[in-house]
Structure 1
Amino acid sequence: MVAETTTVEDAVMDYAVKEENYIGDFLDNKLVRGCLKSIADKYYGSQITVIRNEGVLLTNDSYPMLHSTYIHCCHTLKIMNPPAVYITHILRGINALSVEINNEQMILLSRRVAISLSTKEQAFILGHELGHHQQGNLVGHTVNGLINSLKDKSEIFGPMIQDAIEVPLKRWCRRSEYNADRAGLLCCKDIEVVKQLFMKIGMIESVTVYHQYKETSDDHPMLTTRLKELNDYATSI
């Protein structure tokens, strides 16, 4: 499987809902995206190379059932040039990560995803990661990671980042997770399977006001919120 770069202009599926703030427009600017990609390549390129070299490339020979599920997800989302998928022990638990470094798109899966989940659970996770690639939002998540690092190192600049950039960026990140979940559901086709998967990952049943407040400063929404958003979407399709 050869990975080819897919641009944002290659079409965002109908499942994606744009977050209405200036961060989205900023990240969609071609010049800005080019600069941010260069920064991401510089800071993360060597790390991703190590992960790729030690991982196992997903093929019909290495993981035939998982590979078949991946092909199904690509067909469902109409992705013509799918990212390469690597199974790696560096990711722990039930975990997956999408990256685009040096113009190469990749999906990284933990071994637990590859060997211990049902086909439908795998379809949701793979569809979710493909959704990130299809929407072209990986640059935004990379920027968020870099800002987190910068804020931790700068007591003076940190508050400025949070007020001007971080708050709308994290809201943008949360929206991108909802959209990626929708892509995952289109591939999985079973909201109950998603609920079971979220429970395995660590979804809590009782959500307090504190949890809701903390969510507003996180780049990933709570699993309970994600499930609610996904339920709403499931009833509309």
Structure 2
Amino acid sequence: MSDTVKKQRKLRTYPDLERAAFMHPWDIKATAALHKVPGFDRLIAKVMEYGLERVLFLQNIADNVRVTDKMFPRLHRYLQWSCKVLAVPEPEFYISMDPVPNAYTYGHTRPFIVMTSGLIELLGEEEQFYAVAHEVGHIKCEHVLYTAVAMNIATLVEILGQATLGLGSLLGKGLELPLYDWWRKSELSADRAALLCVQDRQVAMRSFMKLAGGANKLFHEMDEGEFMRQIRAYEEADESNLNKIYKFFITAFRTHPFPIMRAKHLDEWITSGEFYRISGLDPNDA
């Protein structure tokens, strides 16, 4: 999104917006379920005790490039706009040389965002804004502490196992599935936050289509109607218990929902009218 586009479509800001107003109900439910799993609070304590976020922070300083007003200034503006819209303190932001399209937010006491060069190459300017806003949305929703647990689950399970003669490992293994389940569902809330930032449905849908298709150069050959019809084909595959079992195994250890499912959930939020009620936007403009 250029400054010209921003002037043509002035972004609304939400200084008093509470995260509970827009968070996906699945996210809220999954978060509550996590706290009921034995050993979860112990894992959180270990994240803080061992300073795991500091390790990755130092790695970023050494290996990645920090986004500032002088280094990748366009991306820095996306960060500033996202933080202003959602009323979030500005975190540090890094670009990592990695061809795999990805972005994540990490760090409980000092959150920072990392985006790969592969994601930058895949997305257009406005979609890059959406991706940055999505990560700021994780901070707004206070996901970062649980993300730190999810990203370090293997290390934490090993630490607990050594400290408790193997008992902690058993508890940790029982946490993996509900943790991954929460991780996927937290993405749905961050998608909503990103839409509140870009304030344009088409930007979000283009982002999902590119994430699913994997090629920026092929986007002009893609059709949103066909993309949304794929969702129905996936949902209709629940006709048998066997298909439901297959779905479980192909999603159980994913950190993100499939792009078509993210598009579905965001589209439902829009068509329900909730997005317009919260954003105050006119349906004809967004």
| TM-score under structure 2 length normalisation | 0.64
Work out the CA distance in 2 between the residues paired with 1:138 and 1:149: 17
**Residue 178 of structure 2 is aligned to residue 168 of structure 1:** yes
**Residue 95 of structure 2 is aligned to residue 87 of structure 1:** yes
Deviations 1:50-80 (A, max 9, x none): 222332221221122222222111111111x
Q: Which consecutive residues of structure 2, in runs of 5 or more, have no partner in the other structure?
A: 1-16, 214-226, 238-242, 276-286
Deviations 1:203-233 (A, max 9, x none): 5846454346522443322212111111111
Taking a change above 3 Å as real, the CA distance of residues 148 and 75 of structure 1, as seen in their structure-2 partners, is same
Give the aligned partner of residue 143 of structure 1. Answer: 149
Give the aligned partner of residue 78 of structure 2. Answer: 69
Runs ≥4 in structure 1, deviation > 6 angstroms? 150-154, 156-159
Asked if the contact 1:87–1:114 (Cα under 8 Å) also holds between the matched residues in 2, the reply is: no
CA RMSD, aligned part only? Answer: 3.4
Q: Which amino acid aligns with 1:56?
A: V
**Residue 33 of structure 2 is aligned to residue 22 of structure 1:** yes
Deviations 1:89-119 (A, max 9, x none): 1x43322111106x32110112344466323
Taking a change above 3 Å as real, the CA distance of residues 87 and 228 of structure 1, as seen in their structure-2 partners, is same
Cα displacement (A) at 1:12: 2.8
| TM-score under structure 1 length normalisation | 0.75
1:104 is paired with a residue of what secondary structure? coil
Summarize the alignment of residues 222-237 of structure 1 with structure 2, pairs less than 5 Å apart: 222-236=258-272, 237=275
Taking a change above 3 Å as real, the CA distance of residues 117 and 174 of structure 1, as seen in their structure-2 partners, is closer
Deviations 1:147-166 (A, max 9, x none): 34567999x8777645x423
1:98 is paired with a residue of what secondary structure? strand
Deviations 1:103-137 (A, max 9, x none): 32110112344466323201211111111112222
Work out the CA distance in 2 between the residues paired with 1:215 and 1:83: 30
Aligned residues with identical type, % of pairs: 23
> Which is higher, the Rg of structure 1 or of structure 2?
2
Give the aligned partner of residue 178 of structure 1. Answer: 188
